[in-house]
Amino acid sequence: MKPNYDIIDKAALALSGVLMLLGIVVLGIVEILAGEPFGAAPVEQTNEAGEVINTLYPAVDPTLRTGLVIAGLLVLLVWGLYRMTGATAEETERQAVEARAD
């Protein structure tokens, strides 16, 4: 059975895909191109005496990347709930026919 996607379904799938790709792939490439530090936490550079002389921060804030991915997942969740609760015209018609047959 082929799924019937209307404009709302296509928009929700596209939006969630774009948000997750932006948060994972695009900003990941930006992080790689920006150089170290690659992790989410700032890295402190110290001298031989152990004194902090510089702190390196990631190019993109990790909360931004996480927020984009979570927003994409939330769009998918809302779309899934929409699909579960919305009955199509075929289902409504089939239920009406079955009710008349009883």
Per-residue model confidence as pLDDT tens digits over 38-90: 777 888 888 888 888 888 888 888 899 999 999 999 999 999 999 888 866 56
Per the domain annotation, does 6 fall within a domain? no
- Cα 101 vs. chain centroid, distance in angstroms? 45
Residue 86 counted as domain residue: yes
Cis-peptide, bond into residue 3, ω within 30° of zero: no
Please check whether residue 23 is in contact with residue 72, taking contact to mean a CB–CB distance below 8 angstroms: yes
In a domain, 7, yes or no: no
Residue 53 lies in a domain: yes
What is the count of structural domains for the chain? 1
What's the pLDDT at 59? 86
Neighbours of 40 (CB within 10 A): 13
> In terms of residue numbers, what domain contains 68?
12-101
The answer to the question of residue 4 being in a domain is: no
Model-level pTM? 0.73
What is the reported pLDDT for 40?
78
DSSP state of 25: I
Residue 16 covered by a domain:
yes
93 within some domain = yes
User: What number of residues does the chain have?
Assistant: 102
Q: Is residue 57 part of a domain?
A: yes
**pLDDT on residue 92:** 62
- Name residue 55's beta-bridge partners: 44
